[in-house]
């Protein structure tokens, strides 16, 4: 969706809600066209830290280095799934796997807006599948995209609604669905401020399948054709069994070696690590083994440097041996008991099941600053109870349900969260109960994936007639 409305565009920072002109000022299409040089400049800057942002930039404007799909080749016309970033792409992976079980020869086109999303999407491709950047939302770029790929059905994951794309799909009678759809209160308010632009976009979607009744109500309020409430398919993700086994083994070895209970600051966002350091009582560096896993890989080095500036030793996941992080962090013969504690740093991608299984409890990243919180479902599916900050509007229903199921705790700020987590870690009966509640909570909400996959498969087959 445009960077101006619900939250996650291409993380470009070029458009924001406050910068959109009033209806009587510069038209949307003119603004987007004039912004293209700014987008190119932003991508070039991002590519310095994440080279994939500099990869195939012409695709962002509808120019491709491989042959188009002939309009007459109906069997080759793909199912198009747009998953803007890492989280949406992982969610799309669940849906793709379920669809392949129903439609084994399904041709697929994946589009993304972020480097992490595209990298994750590459893992989902099979022979003959296609992948490219989502086009910048000008009429020309969108027109070239649709003419080149000729999709039979389009699925937008969760929040991505752009006016020109929706309008051109409508004109070409291409069904465009918003699936696993969510709309938090903040994004709803932003859309209402730009209703002249966004109401038509939501109204002209072919179908909207919402996560919750609250999401459905907000989507209906802006004109979206909500056809079903299917639930959140993130609950159907099954944590990697090998990662879980390894995490449990490392945790057991750590505890047997005399280590302290383990807490993870999971999927932390910029500024949260500094806030954690500022609020952390020195005693809890000795009484809790801390693991930090930054949300974005380009920040791994910066977080390590921050920790070292505070006199802390750092053991990065990339340097752990087969025995895990135990040897570098537990006092033993020949080690100085007065030495500064070691912070474990999770500097890998795709291993959250390992980290959650290694930890006894989690502090939820993105929830201690007004960022909306990260996904708490994966932690609960690994039987890792969560302490959340005040900002969980991206997963409002899941957060409320986790609290109701006693799978999570709510803290007013990160200092209170640290205190709550430390108390939980040293209260064995409560910790064990919450671990069981977390797992039961995650398992009780499954089933959305089958509902969504059945709906998409039925629509796909209908489009093929």
- CATH number (domain holding residue 46): 3.40.50.11720
Q: What is the pLDDT of residue 322?
A: 84
pTM of the model: 0.85
Per the CB < 8 A criterion, the answer to whether 2 and 137 are in contact is yes
Give 165's DSSP letter.
H
Per the CB < 8 A criterion, the answer to whether 82 and 91 are in contact is no
Same domain as 318, residue 206: no
Q: Could you write out the three-class secondary structure of 259-325? A: CCCEEEEEEECCCHHHHHHHHCCHHHHHHCEEEEEECCHHHHHHHHHHHHHCCCEEEEHHHCECCEC
Q: What is the pLDDT of residue 269?
A: 95
Domain-terminating residue out of 186, 207, 230: 230
Report if residue 462 sits inside a domain: no
Report if residue 15 sits inside a domain: no
Same domain as 258, residue 127: no
Report if residue 38 sits inside a domain: yes
Instruction: Give the count of domains, the chain.
Output: 2
Q: What is the pLDDT of residue 27?
A: 85
Same domain as 345, residue 433: yes
Domain-terminating residue out of 207, 230, 253: 230
The boundaries of the domain holding residue 204 are: 25-230
The model's pLDDT over 88-119, given as tens digits with 9 standing for 90+, comes to 999 999 999 999 999 999 999 999 999 999 99
Task: Report the candidate in 257, 166, 246, 239 with the shortest Cα–Cα distance to residue 207.
Answer: 166
Q: What is the pLDDT of residue 5?
A: 31
**Reduced to 3 states, what is the DSSP secondary structure of residue 227?**
strand
Domain-terminating residue out of 230, 255, 285: 230
Give the angle subtended at the CA of 39 by the CAs of 191 and 135, to the nearest 5°.
Answer: 70
Same domain as 224, residue 126: yes
Same domain as 206, residue 335: no
Same domain as 161, residue 255: no
Per the CB < 8 A criterion, the answer to whether 60 and 137 are in contact is no
Helix, strand, coil content of the chain in percent (nearest 5): 50, 15, 35
Q: Write the CATH number for 366.
A: 3.40.50.2000
Same domain as 295, residue 219: no
Same domain as 339, residue 264: yes
Q: What is the pLDDT of residue 66?
A: 84
Report if residue 126 sits inside a domain: yes
Question: pLDDT under 50 in the chain at which residues?
Answer: 1-25, 329-338
Q: What is the pLDDT of residue 323?
A: 84
Which active-site residues does the annotation give? 88
Residue 35 CA: distances (Å) to CA of 21, 201, 303, 403, 448: 13, 20, 33, 43, 39
Q: What is the pLDDT of residue 217?
A: 97
Count CB atoms within 10 A of the CB of residue 63.
14
The model's pLDDT over 350-400, given as tens digits with 9 standing for 90+, comes to 899 999 999 999 999 999 999 999 999 999 999 999 999 999 998 889 999
Give the angle subtended at the CA of 457 by the CAs of 455 and 461, to the nearest 5°.
Answer: 120
Report how far residue 304's alpha carbon sits from residue 216's, in angstroms, rounded to the nearest whole number. Answer: 42
Report how far residue 395's alpha carbon sits from residue 377's, in angstroms, rounded to the nearest whole number. Answer: 9
Report if residue 198 sits inside a domain: yes
Length of the chain as a residue count: 465
Same domain as 208, residue 251: no
Same domain as 268, residue 201: no
Same domain as 163, residue 142: yes
Report if residue 103 sits inside a domain: yes
Report if residue 459 sits inside a domain: no
Report if residue 464 sits inside a domain: no
Same domain as 183, residue 55: yes
């Amino acid at each position: 969706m445009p960077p101006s409305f619900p939250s996650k565009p291409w993380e470009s920072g070029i458009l924001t809600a406050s910068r959109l002109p009033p209806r009587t000022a510069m038209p949307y299409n003119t603004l987007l066209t004039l912004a293209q040089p700014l987008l190119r400049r932003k991508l070039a800057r991002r590519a310095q830290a994440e080279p994939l942002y500099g990869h195939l930039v012409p695709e962002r404007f509808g120019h491709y280095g491989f042959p188009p799909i002939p309009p007459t080749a109906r069997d080759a016309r793909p199912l198009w799934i747009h998953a803007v970033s890492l989280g949406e792409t992982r969610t799309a992976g669940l849906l793709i796997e379920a669809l392949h079980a129903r439609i084994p020869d399904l041709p697929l086109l994946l589009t993304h807006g972020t480097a992490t999303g595209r990298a994750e999407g590459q893992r989902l491709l099979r022979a003959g599948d296609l992948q490219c950047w989502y086009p910048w939302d000008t009429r020309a770029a969108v027109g070239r995209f649709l003419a080149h790929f000729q999709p039979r059905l389009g699925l937008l994951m969760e929040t991505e609604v752009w006016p020109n794309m929706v309008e051109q799909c409508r004109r070409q009678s291409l069904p465009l669905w918003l699936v696993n759809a969510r709309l938090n209160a903040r994004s709803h308010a932003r859309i209402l401020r730009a209703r002249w632009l966004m109401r038509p976009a939501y109204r002209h979607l072919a179908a909207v399948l919402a996560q919750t009744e609250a999401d459905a109500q907000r989507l209906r309020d802006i004109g979206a054709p909500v056809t079903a409430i299917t639930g959140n398919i993130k609950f159907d993700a099954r944590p990697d069994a090998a990662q879980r086994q390894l995490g449990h083994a490392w945790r057991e070895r750590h505890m047997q070696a005399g280590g302290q209970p383990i807490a993870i600051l999971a999927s932390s966002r910029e500024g949260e690590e500094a806030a954690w350091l500022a609020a952390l009582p020195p005693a809890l560096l000795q009484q809790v083994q801390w693991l930090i896993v930054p949300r974005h890989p380009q920040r791994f080095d910066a977080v390590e440097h921050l920790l070292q500036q505070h006199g802390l030793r750092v053991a990065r996941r990339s340097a752990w041996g087969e025995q895990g992080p135990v040897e570098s962090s537990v006092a033993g013969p020949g080690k100085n008991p007065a030495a500064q504690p070691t912070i474990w740093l999770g500097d890998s991608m795709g291993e959250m099941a390992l980290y959650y299984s290694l930890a006894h409890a989690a502090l939820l990243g993105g929830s201690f600053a007004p960022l909306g919180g990260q996904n708490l479902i994966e932690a609960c599916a690994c039987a890792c109870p969560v302490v959340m900050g005040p900002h969980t509007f991206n997963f409002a229903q899941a957060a409320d349900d986790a609290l109701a199921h006693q799978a999570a705790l709510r803290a007013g700020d990160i200092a209170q969260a640290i205190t709550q987590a430390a108390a939980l870690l040293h209260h064995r009966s409560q910790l064990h109960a919450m671990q069981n509640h977390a797992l039961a909570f995650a398992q009780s909400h499954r089933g959305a994936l089958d509902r969504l996959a059945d709906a998409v498969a039925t629509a796909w087959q209908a489009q093929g007639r």
